[in-house]
Amino acid sequence: MGADSRPSGVRAGGGGRGSAGPGTSSRALQPPLPPLSFLFLLLVAAPGARAAGYETCPVVQPDMLNVHLVAHTHDDVGWLKTVDQYFYGIQNDVQHAGVQYILDSVILSLLMEPTRRFIYVEIAFFSRWWQQQTNATQEVVRNLVRQGRLEFANGGWVMNDEAATHYGAIIDQMTLGLRFLEDTFGKDGRPRVAWHIDPFGHSREQASLFAQMGFDGFFFGRLDYQDKSVRQEKLQMEQVWRASASLKPPVADLFTSVLPNMYNPPEKLCWDTLCADKPFVEDPRSPEYNAKELVNYFLQLATAQSEHYRTNHTIMTMGSDFQYENANMWFKNLDRLIQLVNAQQANGSRINVLYSTPACYLWELNKANLTWSVKQDDFFPYADGPHKFWTGYFSSRPALKRYERLSYNFLQVCNQLEALAGPAANVGPYGSGDSAPLNEAMAVLQHHDAVSGTSRQHVANDYARQLAAGWGPCEVLLSNSLARLSGSKEDFTYCRDLNISVCPLTQTAKSFQVTIYNPLGRKVDWMVRLPVSERVFDVRDPNGTIVPSDVVILPSSDGLELLFSASVPALGFSIYSVTQVPGRRPHAHSRQPRSQKSWSRVLDIQNEYIRARFDPDTGFLVELENLEQNLLLPVRQAFYWYNASVGNNLSTQVSGAYIFRPNRQEPLIVSHWAQTHVVKTPLVQEVHQNFSAWCSQVVRLYPGQRHLELEWTVGPIPVGDGWGKEVISRFDTVLETKGLFYTDSNGREILERRRDYRPTWKLNQTEPVAGNYYPVNSRIYIRDGHVQLTVLTDRSQGGSSLRDGSVELMVHRRLLKDDGRGVGEPLLEEGSGLWVRGRHLVLLDKAQTAATGHRLQAEKEVLAPQVVLAPGGGAPYHLGVAPRKQFSGLRRELPPSVHLLTLARWDRTRLLLRLEHQFAVGEGSGNLSSPVTLDLKDLFSAFTITYLQETTLAANQPRASASRLKWTPNTGPTAQPSPPRLDPTTITLEPMEIRTFLASVQWKEHG
């Protein structure tokens, strides 16, 4: 998105200063590509080492201030236009941007002058452009990369958001982009630095992942305005970020540099078609002569900027959003700037300016051999001024956020079955199965204007379209794999609308079969819910034994759902058969309506572990009891809404897609009472609460469940009264929490939060609500010394604890004003995003051992079983081989502390395997947070591992040969870890460690 976020909302040159408004800028004509013989001549004449890396960096002047000019373009993978519109340069009246022309133009300009350098970031765009080039142009580009003149920074498919993204999806999208660079350019193309110049706040887990991927440093643009001014004063714009409380330093240590000017060029120095700054005029006879003035201005600017940094090196970003479409304009003026400024050295100037890259700047900092301060918290929340907290996007577009998380779940199922079934997954009786389209769509969704919910509406629709298009080839792959592994070719069908109780097969067929696939490394018992017509069913397990089942009436309609509990083995499936029983009288369990004043004074639901009590007068949840641990906690849960600010006398800032700003501290309750209905059957107990025409909830307990499930439905949020609304679910308890609460970082490690406080500077709090909101990717909890209340989410949401004993999560928002950050339209969510359904899982535990429950439940939530349906009666896959109703891809279950993060096909003969210790140091009961050793020999049943190579986290470097620059933190030296010796069969995982392998395998006949 635009770096220049002025309140007017007029996008300033795509982040640069003083551009023409939309539709008024005109692109200079592209020069035609010169003949290729000429390009090769230019390359041959170019100086520089032959291998990219730090050795190709430019020469600096050790006794001068070196100004590293970084020519770059920031190319959003969707924002105001769709991905395709940005790539091809379509709808330039909305925003002038065409990535294909940017890359054409940059390559030409680099060839014109051997000292020029450029960095590129977004591989989603670069890979598309690359595929359209001739072999000769590709060779030219390879040479530029080899010489370090075209350098890749970051190298992910996109520059991902850091608040609303799950760590598994971040790793996947980085792996996709870095693999393209490795396959295309070898080690010459490997990025040395992470480059997150636009995301709106920075998570600690992101830095930890980057460190584990082998990056030497991390550059970003946005940080809180108060934080920045303190850092400039204390010379802490650069430091070592210690990004894990569990991994031993320096495993998750990452040198981090805050860029001086977000990611824009300095004022007056933007020479793009999108800018209006004056070019260099060197002719003193011209009335426009300005060379001397510009040189003096630059010398002052460089000196002033360097005062906030510690070395004789400073960096300047020369570029911004979708710039360099006419790269000649930029480079011609930068050439003159360099020439004229350096000419002043003859007059005693001590400033040396040069074309450089972030990696080359970092290399010089490393050689300075200084001791650096250490940061251990994160950079949330981000505010770009008083009253301007970017905490709204934590919750914006909740339907898209859920679709993304569901698609992550489905992609992992698709990847695993492709790995387990082998080549039969890709070509089989159902056609060509392919995981790549969904993998790429999911990577695009991690972009910082995608899952964040901060794009325009038609772009959000296009993101959803890409996901939907990716599901199809994965469904074919699942069908091929399940037929191969089960030995039966069924007419498989995928009901994508089960969340709204729609599935034509189960609602019409007299009999059908249900295949449940479990992507976890341990067996699960899972309650299957399927929409049916009003009938009685027999449900049989894989052995043909009848299992208990129930039919219940749905709260929102008179529809029916069949319930039965399925037991599914680790990394495998179970096939259940369902048959309608004629003649027996249907006994669907109806709801027991309760009016507001109930004759009974007890309204509760319970199973063997949990009891939840409701106030019979209001219908609200008022008490939670953990029967197993004898814990009783008064908990009141209700829905409220904040009235969105439209600006006031303190600030004109309004609430919008990015910004959360309520017009007052106290939210308004949706309703003071709920109409309730109770359902109690042997398989489920539910209280249905109806708060208003647009807000309802089902509070649910299944047998054997150690958490209370709250399934909420919100929308369409009414805005006819002219008030934008931001809806929260709030839990109020008596816990004495001393201003503290805890949120996860991208679904992994937990960070302590304190109300109205920042660990590294004295906060001047201007927004007591929005300024205390944090991203909640998977969980938020509060605790006193004894008891912990945890709420797990099914998507990313904003959350907080605004008073002791209270927890709130924002479930939906609908706003009438644009917040002036460039998107140019209010977050109204017309269409399917109006109405949102989701789940909160509530756990009450002893504080010391609570992690056992929330870690294992969060794992089940993010990798839930996948249901595949079929009418039954399919043909055998292999003649003479009996079909099977149950299968496990593992010979033995993984221990509870181990999570199978990735199992996916890498190439024809290899799989990508990631195993993760999912507990942090000191978490959980027993020895769950101890190191754990696994024997991989014969662990998998569908294939044999013949060779194992350990790699860095993104699988683009062998771990044994990977090395990172060493930095000296002021906490004392860190021991450089030696890579563990890879015993061919056993591996050990330390708390929070992820280990990544490329495994050569041989698949077994008939699975």
Hey, which residues are catalytic here? Answer: 198
Q: Which amino acid is at 724?
A: G
Neighbours of 604 (CB within 10 A): 17
User: Which residue shows structure tokens 């449900």?
Assistant: 539
Q: Which amino acid is at 883?
A: P
Dihedral sign of CA atoms 840, 842, 847, 851 in order = negative
> CA-based angle 304:307:311, to the nearest 5?
125
Q: CB neighbours of 762 closer than 8 A, spacing ≥ 6? A: none
> CA-based angle 355:132:425, to the nearest 5?
115
How many angstroms separate the Cα of 762 from the Cα of each of 229, 391, 757? 12, 20, 7
Lookup: tokens for 610? 């949990």
Q: Give DSSP secondary structure letters for 538-570.
A: EEE-TTS-EE-EEEEE-SSSS-EEEEEEEEE-T
Are 633 and 624 a contacting pair, CB within 8 Å? Answer: yes
Give, as one character, the DSSP assignment of residue 961: G
How many angstroms separate the Cα of 793 from the Cα of each of 67, 712, 757, 843? 46, 11, 25, 12
Q: Give DSSP secondary structure letters for 456-481.
A: -HHHHHHHHHHHHHHHHHHHHHHHHH
Q: If DSSP codes are grouped into helix, strand and coil, which group holds residue 13?
A: helix
Q: Give DSSP secondary structure letters for 290-315.
A: -HHHHHHHHHHHHHHHHTTSSSSEEE
Q: CB neighbours of 24 closer than 8 A, spacing ≥ 6? A: none
Nearest to 673 by CA among 590, 589, 591, 603: 603
Q: Order the strands of the 560-568 sheet from edge to edge.
A: 524-532, 560-568, 549-553
Q: How far apart are CA 977 and CA 995, in angstroms?
A: 14
Dihedral sign of CA atoms 726, 732, 738, 744 in order = negative
Q: How far apart are CA 691 and CA 638, in angstroms?
A: 9
Q: CB neighbours of 572 closer than 8 A, spacing ≥ 6? A: 517, 518, 886, 887, 888, 889, 890
Q: Please provide the size of the chain in residues.
A: 1007
Strand extents, DSSP E, 122-184: 150-152
Q: How far apart are CA 822 and CA 196, in angstroms?
A: 19
Question: Measured over all CA atoms, what is the biggest interatomic distance in the chain, rounded to whole angstroms?
Answer: 103
Neighbours of 370 (CB within 10 A): 13
Residues linked to residue 633 through DSSP beta bridges, in sequence order: 624
Nearest to 750 by CA among 778, 769, 714: 778
User: Which residue shows structure tokens 């063997």?
Assistant: 608
Q: How far apart are CA 482 and CA 900, in angstroms?
A: 20
Phi-psi region of 501 (alpha: psi -120 to 50; beta: other; left: phi over 0): left
Q: CB neighbours of 126 closer than 8 A, spacing ≥ 6? A: 103, 120, 152, 180
Q: If DSSP codes are grouped into helix, strand and coil, which group holds residue 362?
A: helix
Q: How far apart are CA 185 and CA 200, in angstroms?
A: 31
Torsion on CA atoms 42, 48, 50, 52, rounded to nearest 10: -110
End-to-end Cα spacing for the chain: 48
Lookup: tokens for 977? 């870890």
